[in-house]
Copies of this chain bind each other. A is one copy, B any other.
Amino acid sequence: MAATIPASHADLLRREKKAFAALALVSSKGLPHVTPMWFDFDGEHVIFNTARGRVKDRILSKHPTVALVVTDPANPYRYIQIQGPVVFESEEGDYAQIADLNLKYHGNRDYPKRPGEVRITYKVRPEHVTTMG
């Protein structure tokens, strides 16, 4: 069951805000792991992109539930917390999705291709959403 994003905090997920997410995962040893990440939101899913073989990819292949918090860059006391499962993972689209993120954060789609690197797109369905501020 997907949770609704409250209108009061929906701006934090929009591209114009250029906010980062702190993405929390649980490692195979059961330990917490948290990283600042670029993200996108398609109105339904929170979307991430990483490279095949990185820590995040290795963790998510075994433990596909994430939590994230997006804080208003202009107000650290205003944020949205989202928890939910990864419901989609694909190598399709190749660099198109990371180029979308590059556009959001840097204003252009010129994300550098690295030889041999395979990009993966993850989509998270929000199941629990809380807001502050």
Interface residues of A (CB under 8 A from B): 20, 22-26, 30-36, 63, 65-69, 71, 73, 76, 79, 81, 83
A32 is contacted by which of B36, B67, B73 (Cβ under 8 Å)? B67
Q: Is B68's CB under 8 angstroms from A36's CB?
A: no
Q: Which of A25, A67, A71 has the most CB of B within 10 A?
A: A67
> Which residues of chain B have C-beta atoms less than 8 A from A32's C-beta?
24-26, 32-33, 65-67, 83
Chain A interface, DSSP helix/strand/loop, else mixed: strand
Give bound CA distance, A83 to B31, whole Å: 9
Q: Is B36's CB under 8 angstroms from A79's CB?
A: yes
Count identical subunits in the complex: 2
> Which residues of chain B have C-beta atoms less than 8 A from A30's C-beta?
26, 30, 63
Q: Is B67's CB under 8 angstroms from A33's CB?
A: yes
A87 to chain B, nearest CB (A): 15
A31 is contacted by which of B34, B35, B65 (Cβ under 8 Å)? B65
Q: Is B33's CB under 8 angstroms from A83's CB?
A: yes
List the 7 closest pairs (A to B, CB-CB), nearest first.
A22-B22, A24-B34, A24-B24, A24-B32, A32-B67, A34-B67, A34-B69
A46 to chain B, nearest CB (A): 13
> Which residues of chain B have C-beta atoms less than 8 A from A69's C-beta?
22, 34-36
> Which residues of chain B have C-beta atoms less than 8 A from A24's C-beta?
22, 24, 32-34, 67
